[in-house]
């Protein structure tokens, strides 16, 4: 019989990680309460702390992505213009 790994929702992970950050109990107590392994709680807690800055960086992140997309499109336009000029010179001969 194949035992499937349990998958937890992001909401559940956030709830457990916040409880760990707030010190609502020891890691062992939280693990027993939420029925997860203590290592998972530590990992979720670390991920939440490391990713917290991204929550406030959403506007700048989309602007950076937009700028990168615009730069890529300008590069493609330049490349197509060069190819077009090269081909038009070949046809005029």
Residue 40's Cβ-count burial label (10 Å; 0-12, 13-18, 19+) is: middle
pLDDT at 66: 87
Instruction: With 0.75 as the threshold, say if the pTM is over it.
Output: no
Q: What does the alpha-carbon distance between residue 38 and residue 33 come to, in Å, rounded to a whole number?
A: 11
Q: What is the reported pLDDT for 59?
A: 66
| Alpha carbons 43 and 9: distance in angstroms, whole number | 15
Query: Would you give per-residue pLDDT tens digits along the chain (93 residues)?
Result: 788 888 999 999 999 999 999 999 999 999 999 999 999 999 999 999 998 887 777 666 677 888 899 999 999 999 999 999 998 887 766
The reported pLDDT for the residue numbered 71 is 94
């Amino acid at each position: 019989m194949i035992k499937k790994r349990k998958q937890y929702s992001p909401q559940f992970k956030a709830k457990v990680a916040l409880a760990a950050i707030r010190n609502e109990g020891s890691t062992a107590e939280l693990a027993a309460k939420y029925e997860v392994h203590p290592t998972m709680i530590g990992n979720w807690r670390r991920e939440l702390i490391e990713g917290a800055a991204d929550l406030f960086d959403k506007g700048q992140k989309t602007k950076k992505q937009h700028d990168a997309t615009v730069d890529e499109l300008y590069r493609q336009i330049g490349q197509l213009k060069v190819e077009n000029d090269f081909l038009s010179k070949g046809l005029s001969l």
